[in-house]
Every structure is written in structure tokens, then in C-alpha cells.
């Protein structure tokens, strides 16, 4: 305990000394750590961050529902459902294999630019569509792993009671699968929350874009620091919660509790 404390203090002291004694420290300090700029722009960026929050909350709900549907479609048995299975696999593979930014560009500029009547060209709409498509692909894989981790004897028990295949999924397999995949789902949500800044590229004025505009007009990078702080306030608790849940599951598994 004491050794850890001493080594931590020494470590960070050395880092601090090295950084602050570097030749351009004064310049960097002024450009990145200007307290006046920080406090002036933190509220502005925080307000813009509400757009990011609205975006990821909407997308999270959509992804939770659609991801489950894709995972279930992929697990449907029998030759009748082959086209549906194929479609689900192709979708998950393609959207996991492309950079999110590319999809945002293609949909946000390309499809929106087609000007199809009735299809909105609001950047928020296309931002939500792009992120939903990308993250549904990831989350469907998480769900699928969860569904496959439920021992077949559970389905056998349900079927033996007369429950149909669909009822077995709905009442027995999926509820257990979801409990198991909550930690990896939260991980994907952290990724999604960070990726909301990518939609600034199709013209949505959200937190990153706001910080970007401020930086360009001030020739000072401190607004980015303000945004970083805002992000950490959101993502750090979620990261800690995820790690806690993972550790708890591991303990349970070791105790043989389920």
C-alpha cells in the first residue's frame, strides 16, 4: 500500500517535471490549458453536447431493439428462413467491416443528397440512421453470443413443456441471454457515445463541431479540453460500471452460482 503510494507520487512527479520543463511548455499551456477560455466555453459546449446526448439516447434504444431482431433472425432454424439468415449475416458483416465515418458520409451526403421526396435531409436524421446501422451490427453479434451461450438443455426443458420455438426464445432463452450480455452491451454504448462526434462531418452542429468553431476563431485548443472533460463525466462512470459488472460475473462464475 505504502510502496504503491510512493511509487505513484514519484512517477507522476517525474512526468510533471519532464513536461513542464520542456522548451515549449509555456506555449502549449497557453494553447491547451487557458483557464479563461475553458470556463468561458465549457457551458457553450455543454449545451451543444445535449445534441450528442439526444443522439446517443435515441440510437441506443433503436439499437437495443433492432440488434435483438437481427440476432434472432440469424438464429432462425430451417431452410425456409435461409434468405433471412443470409441477409442478417451479410448486414452484420458489411456494417462491422466499414469505418463508421464512411457510412456517415455515404448516408449523410450521398443518400440525403438524392433528394428523394419524403426522405428528410436533416443531418440529425441521417446521423441517427448511420449510427443505428453501424451499432446494430455490433450489438446483434453481442446478442447472438449471449443467445448461443444459453445451454441447449434450457430450450429442451421449455420445449418439453409445450412452449413453441418462439415462446422458448421469448420467455426462456432471450431473458437469460440479455442478463449475460449487459457488460459487453455497455461497452458498445461507450463506443457509440464517443462516435457521436463523427456526425459533425455531415454538418450537425453538436459538441465537437461547437468546440471546433471556437478553436478556429480563438486559435486556442482549450475548447477541446473542455469537451474531453464533458465526455469523461459521461463515459467514466459507465466504464467503471461495466468493469464492475464483468468482475461480478466472473466471481459468480467462479463460485459456481449459476
Partner 1 sequence: MSADFVRIEGLHKRFDKLEVLRGIDLAVGEHEVVCLIGASGSGKSTLLRCVNLLEPIDAGRILIGGSDITLADVDVNQVRRGIGIVFQAFNLFPHMSVLDNVTLAPRRVLHRPRPEAERDAGELLARFGLADKRDEYPDRLSGGQQQRVAIVRALAMQPRLMLLDEITSALDPELVAEVLNVVRELAAGGMTMIIATHEMGFARDIANRVCFLDAGRILEAGPPEEIFSAPTEARTRQFLDRVIAAGRM
Sites of contact with partner 1 (CB under 8 A): 153-154, 156-164, 167, 171-172, 175-176, 179, 257-258
Q: How far is the CB of 247 from partner 1 (least distance, A)?
A: 19
Structural contact between residues 49 and 206, judged by C-beta atoms closer than 8 angstroms: yes
- Closest to partner 1 by CB, 161 or 216: 161
Q: How far is the CB of 66 from partner 1 (least distance, A)?
A: 23
- Closest to partner 1 by CB, 96 or 250: 250
- Closest to partner 1 by CB, 13 or 149: 149
Q: Is 160 exposed, middle or buried (0-12, 13-18, 19+ CB in 10 A)?
A: exposed
- Closest to partner 1 by CB, 176 or 212: 176
Q: How far is the CB of 251 from partner 1 (least distance, A)?
A: 14
Structural contact between residues 70 and 88, judged by C-beta atoms closer than 8 angstroms: yes
Q: How far is the CB of 80 from partner 1 (least distance, A)?
A: 15
In this structure, how many other beta carbons lie within 10 angstroms of the beta carbon of residue 255? 8
Q: How far is the CB of 185 from partner 1 (least distance, A)?
A: 17
- Closest to partner 1 by CB, 127 or 150: 150
Task: Please compute, for residue 60, the number of CA atoms within 13 A of its CA located in the half-sphere on the CB side.
Answer: 18
The CA distances from residue 151 to 56, 72, 141, 158, in Å, are 33, 16, 18, 12
Q: How far is the CB of 157 from partner 1 (least distance, A)?
A: 4
- Closest to partner 1 by CB, 50 or 157: 157
- Closest to partner 1 by CB, 169 or 227: 169
Q: How far is the CB of 143 from partner 1 (least distance, A)?
A: 16
CB-based burial, 73-110: b 16+ in 10 Å, e otherwise? bbbeeeeeeeeebeebeebbeebeeeebeebbbebbee
Q: What is the DSSP string of 26-43?
A: HHHHHHH--HHHHHHHHH
The CA distances from residue 204 to 41, 81, 131, 147, 209, in Å, are 19, 39, 13, 37, 8
Structural contact between residues 160 and 199, judged by C-beta atoms closer than 8 angstroms: no
Amino acid at each position: 500500500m505504502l510502496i504503491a503510494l510512493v511509487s505513484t507520487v514519484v512517477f507522476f512527479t517525474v512526468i510533471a517535471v519532464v513536461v513542464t520543463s520542456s522548451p515549449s511548455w509555456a506555449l502549449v499551456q497557453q494553447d491547451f490549458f487557458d483557464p479563461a477560455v475553458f470556463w468561458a466555453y465549457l457551458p457553450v459546449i455543454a449545451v451543444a453536447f445535449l445534441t450528442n446526448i439526444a443522439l446517443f439516447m435515441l440510437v441506443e434504444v433503436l439499437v437495443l431493439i433492432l440488434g435483438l431482431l437481427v440476432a434472432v433472425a440469424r438464429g432462425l432454424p430451417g431452410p425456409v428462413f435461409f434468405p433471412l439468415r443470409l441477409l442478417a449475416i451479410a448486414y452484420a458483416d458489411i456494417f462491422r467491416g466499414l469505418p463508421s465515418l464512411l457510412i456517415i458520409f455515404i448516408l449523410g451526403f450521398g443518400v440525403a443528397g438524392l433528394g428523394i421526396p419524403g426522405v428528410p435531409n436533416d443531418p440529425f436524421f441521417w446521423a441517427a440512421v448511420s449510427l443505428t446501422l453501424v451499432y446494430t451490427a455490433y450489438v446483434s453479434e453481442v446478442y447472438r453470443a449471449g443467445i448461443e451461450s444459453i445451454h441447449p438443455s434450457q430450450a429442451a426443458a421449455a420445449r418439453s413443456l409445450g412452449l413453441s420455438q418462439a415462446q422458448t426464445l421469448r420467455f426462456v432463452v432471450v431473458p437469460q441471454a440479455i442478463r449475460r450480455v449487459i457488460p459487453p452491451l455497455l461497452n458498445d454504448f461507450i463506443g457509440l457515445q464517443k462516435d457521436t462526434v463523427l456526425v459533425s462531418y455531415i454538418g450537425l452542429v453538436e459538441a465537437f463541431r461547437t468546440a471546433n468553431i471556437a478553436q478556429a476563431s480563438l486559435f486556442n485548443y482549450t475548447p477541446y479540453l473542455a469537451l474531453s472533460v464533458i465526455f469523461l463525466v459521461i463515459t467514466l462512470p459507465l466504464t467503471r460500471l461495466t468493469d464492475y459488472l464483468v468482475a461480478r460475473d466472473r466471481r459468480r462464475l467462479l463460485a459456481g452460482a449459476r
